[in-house]
Structure 1
Amino acid sequence: MMALFDNYIAFATTVFMGLLAIVNPVSAIPVFMELTSNMDKKAKRNIATKSVIIAFCIILVFSVAGKLIFHVFGITLAALRVTGGILVFVIGYEMVRGEKENKNENPKLGTQPVKADQGISVAITPLAMPLLAGPGAITTSMSYSAAKDLTHLAIVIGIYAFICYITYLLFIAGERIVKIIGTNVMMVITKMMGLILAVIGVQMFALGIRELFNF
């Protein structure tokens, strides 16, 4: 029983580090602040809430329906891990290079007032997708939950829900966080997360290759 509990703890830690690195809520703070710069506090809180709920629903669907998707399209977990490993590595590499974050900012929305009825649109894109529930997060969550039992699936969903809650708190406190730690520290955190992500991508790729060729 103790060994099983330790296995769950190790799995939860791995999932948390992987999803936290790929979601990287700290790097999403400047984007959220830019998109909601002309909104009041109530509107900002509303957008933050909608974005994390939508992102959670996306990951929930892909995590739960992962096995069904594999069956319908004839996809193997090994193939997913190889593809996901490459994708996760590329995302991590771009984060280390420091060129991806600036591309996430929407200059059109950042240079003109955001109307109230545009809130749901902003919450869906780019906040929910691709910042919080992009291809990397979807692939990673599916890879972690596809070949596991219901307990492991619940751990993946619970961990992502916790990350969504952290992201919500960071969005709400975004202005204070930037003032306290500064943009340079945020850049360092993003690059560290990128390095962790690249390593996770290599590990996923190696595991997938081993399973494909029965090494």
Structure 2
Amino acid sequence: MDFNFKEIFTAFMVLFAVIDIVGNIPIIIDLRKKVGHIQSEKASVIAGFIMILFLFLGQRLLNLIGIDVHSFAVAGAFILFFLALEMILGITLYKEDDEEALSATVFPLAFPLIAGPGSLTTLLSLRAEFNLENIIVAVLLNVIVIYIVLKTSRKIEKVIGPNGIKIIRKIFGVILLAIAVKLFAANFKMLVA
């Protein structure tokens, strides 16, 4: 076991920015209005399970289809880049097709809102740079934060307000943009070397 606080913190911040649970508070509140009740524990556990499962099986899946981790990390950097642009510019590049599915804790909350394409791609990109145990700790810490935010989403929205949520989204968008550039540079070098 090689626990490294810097790696855990960096992986936590990257995942936190990608999952953007605070920025998703308006969506969570909207879901609560439509559904009535969201099972915070179930959504958090399922999202955490999906992320950890993908962390272990994602590499094998890539090998099965003949893609190396560095290529996937470069692709992940592009996804992070576009997610960051969405957060900074307040635009929507990714559109959810199925509006009728907004009625369950598992879909769309646990997947794809929390454990979506961005976070799953990020996990494999992180795996190319960090130790596995540090990423697992970062995932578990994010699951705890997700649970707390889901449980207290109404209170958080009242305290921060809509403008506060927009500011937080933009700050994490800039952080995510910087991470995307770093991830791209590090893995692109490995591809062309």
TM value normalised by structure 2: 0.88
How far apart, in 2, do the equivalents of 1:37 and 1:109 lie? 14
SS of 1:53 mapped into structure 2: helix
Choose from 132, 147, 151 the match for 1:168: 147
Q: 1:66 to 1:103 in 2, by over 3 A?
A: closer
1:115 paired residue number: none
State the Cα distance separating 1:192 from its structure 2 match. 0.8
RMSD: 2.4
Identify the residue that residue 50 of structure 2 maps to in structure 1.
Answer: 58
Q: Deviations over 1:23-57 (max 9, x none)?
A: 111012111111112666xx43xx21221112111
Q: Which moved more, 1:152-161 or 1:94-103?
A: 94-103
CA-to-partner distance for each residue in 1:71-99, whole Å, 9 max, x for gaps?
Answer: 21221121011111111101111111112
Tell me the residue number matched to 1:114: none
Q: Given residue 53 of structure 2, which amino acid in structure 1 is its aligned partner?
A: V
Runs of 4+ residues deviating >4 angstroms: 101-104, 106-110
Q: Distance in 1 between matches of 2:34 and 2:82?
A: 34
In the alignment, structure 1 residue 184 sits paired with structure 2 residue 163: yes
SS at match of 1:100: coil
More helix by share: 1
1:103-122 mapped onto 2 (5 Å cutoff): 118=103, 122=104
Cα deviations across residues 107-145 of structure 1 (Å, max 9, x unaligned)?
A: 7688xxxxxxx5xxx212221122211111001111222
| Structure with bigger gyration radius | 1
* Identity in percent: 29
Residues 70, 128 of structure 2: 8 Å contact kept? no
Whether the 8 Å contact between 1:96 and 1:195 is mirrored in structure 2 is yes
CA contact (8 A) 1:27 1:101 kept: no
User: Which residues of structure 1 form unaligned runs of 5+?
Assistant: 111-117
Q: How does 1:90-169 map to 2 (within 5 A)?
A: 90-100=82-92, 118=103, 122-146=104-128, 152-169=131-148
Measure, in 2, the Cα distance between the counterparts of 1:195 and 1:127: 24
| Residues paired across the two proteins, number | 191
The SS at the match of 1:20 is helix
The amino acid across from 2:120 in the alignment is I
CA distance in 1, matches of 2:55, 2:150: 25
Is the counterpart of residue 205 in structure 1 residue 187 in structure 2?
no
Structure 2: unaligned runs, 5 residues or longer: none
Contact 1:96 1:190 in 2 (8 A): yes
Measure, in 2, the Cα distance between the counterparts of 1:58 and 1:187: 28
| Residue 11 of structure 1: how far off its partner (Å) | 1.3
Whole-Å Cα distance in 1 between the matches of residues 123 and 65 of structure 2? 18
Name the counterpart of 1:79: 71
